[in-house]
Amino acid sequence: MRTMNMMFRNFLIVCCFFSWVTWVGCGELDSQEKLEDLRVLAVRVEPPDIRASFNHFLARIDNEEIPSLPIFPETDVSVEILALDPRGGPLTLNLQNCPKPVGNACNRFDVSSLRSSFAQTDLDAFNAFFQPRFYERELLEEDLENDPSGRIPVPTYNLSFSRDIIDSILGTTQSVETLAPERVLDLLQSEYAYIGIVARNSSVDEVAQEIATKRIPVAIDPHDPLLLPILDQSFNTPEGEDLSIIDFLIPGATLCPLPDAIPESEGDDPLFQGTSTCLYPRPANKNPTLVGFNWLSEEDDPDVLSTEEKRANGEIFVDTRSEFTKNVAFAARAGEQIRLRPVFESGAEFHQVFLLDPNAFRLELVNRLEDFAGSHYVTRGSTTFLRGPQFDGNLDFTWTLPEDAQPGESDVLIIVYRDQRGGTDWGQVKVTYTN
């Protein structure tokens, strides 16, 4: 292992390790199977990943060799919230955005603390992004008859990630004259904007409030034309070695020479899955796009996909068509089983992560194919809560309906699909019981 300042390297590794091992979207929201009370199940942001320019930093660095260019991409996103309470009643949602986690659900965030950091700011746009949002709706008995899950009809709303908003998230609001090599590691990882959600039901005493937080990644592509000269720049380490910054941060790593494309899936090709020494461009993440569901017959094995499907789709069933839409209704008898396979518009996406090699205690660059996981929630009956390649092999599922359901009654199953980088989508299956 290359000799260097071990204390400094270890600090970088530990910080990086804890930043990357968290599965975005997995542990931040509810994970109970039964739909019985107030819940915030998911938040879908489209697109789910914000790309920033290195110019956010470069504009504040005094370096005549690297010209500052007016490259400040802005992104508009839509936000959709899946919240419900099958008990009904008067329901409210309070939404608050913040650039750093402040209190529970951003409840201690004060936008005035940021305004003073910007010399020239479009305050209307700034206030529009950080202003609290409030929704209220009373779910009546007829609403619950139509949808037993008690989904709260929260309007989809838009957010604009302008230059100033991204500055506040990246922490570039203060003047910077130098960019130390170790600071570059932060640039290669995601910062996050946060959406804090507080849901309340004023008609009940138990489970009257639910708090959830959604993270929106904001990151810079390592192949950003303004960042490339920095990563390739050589400097002298404390041990007297002359290294590029990327080689200093991840021993042996280089930037993939353009125009190399991001690799396509080739089964178990180690170039695609496993340790890499080549840092690829970082494509923006996409949400899983649920097309609908296919019916599984008694002869179908819900735990087996064909080898061709696994190789082509990373154990995710991909097609442009499905037998049923992603919001589907069936008539069924009490005690029956509903067996379905979700169908997605596209399969697993390629991405790279930094992981800790516990033997050498150093950072490694690892190629990954993301997995989808399905979280299942039911008003009645039973199903496996989590399904996915990392849990049960694939995303097929069985919903066993309750034996005591009466003709004319209804039940709902909601499935939330997530990838490891914050992408989200969901579908719903409604059953009305017959004789």
Per-block mean pLDDT, blocks of 10 residues, the chain (435 long): 37 36 38 86 95 76 56 88 97 93 82 64 78 95 95 94 86 57 74 94 95 93 81 74 79 72 49 76 89 82 47 62 92 94 85 79 81 91 80 81 96 94 95 94
3-state secondary structure the chain: CCCCCHHHHHHHHHHHHHHHCCCECCCCCCCCCECCCCEEEEEEEECCCEEECCHHHHCCCCCCCCCCCCCCCCEEEEEEEEEECCCCEEEEEEEEEECCCCCHHHCCCCCHHHHCCCCCCCHHHHHHHHCCEEEEEEECHHHHHHCCCCECCCCCEEEEECHHHHHHHHCCCCCCCCCCHHHHHHHCCCEEEEEEEEEEECCCCCCCEEEEEEEEEEEECCCCCCCHHHHHCEEECCCCCEEEHHHHHCCCCEECCCCCCCCCCCCCCCCCCEEECEECCCCCCCCCCEEEEEECCCCCCCCCCCHHHHHHHCCCCECCCCCEECEEEEEECCCCEEEEEEEECCCCCEEEEEEEECCCCEEEEEEEECCCEEEEEECCCECCCEECCCCCCCCCEEEECCCCCCCCCEEEEEEEEECCECCEEEEEEEEEECC
Sheet containing 274-276: order of strands: 274-276, 362-369, 350-357
**Distance (Å, whole) CA 302 – CA 342:** 11
- In which residue are the tokens 């008995």 written? 141
Q: Which of 356, 386, 387, 390 is nearest to 370 (CA)?
A: 390
**What is the pTM (predicted TM-score) of this model?**
0.84
Q: How many CA atoms lie within 13 A of 248 on its CB side?
A: 26
pLDDT of res. 121: 57
Characterize the bridge pairing of strands 133-139 and 89-98.
antiparallel
Encode 177-215: b = buried (16+ Cβ within 10 Å), e = exposed: eebebeebbbbbebbbbbbbbbbbbeebeeeeebebbbb
Inter-residue contact 378 to 33 (CB < 8 Å): yes
CA 283 to chain centre: 14
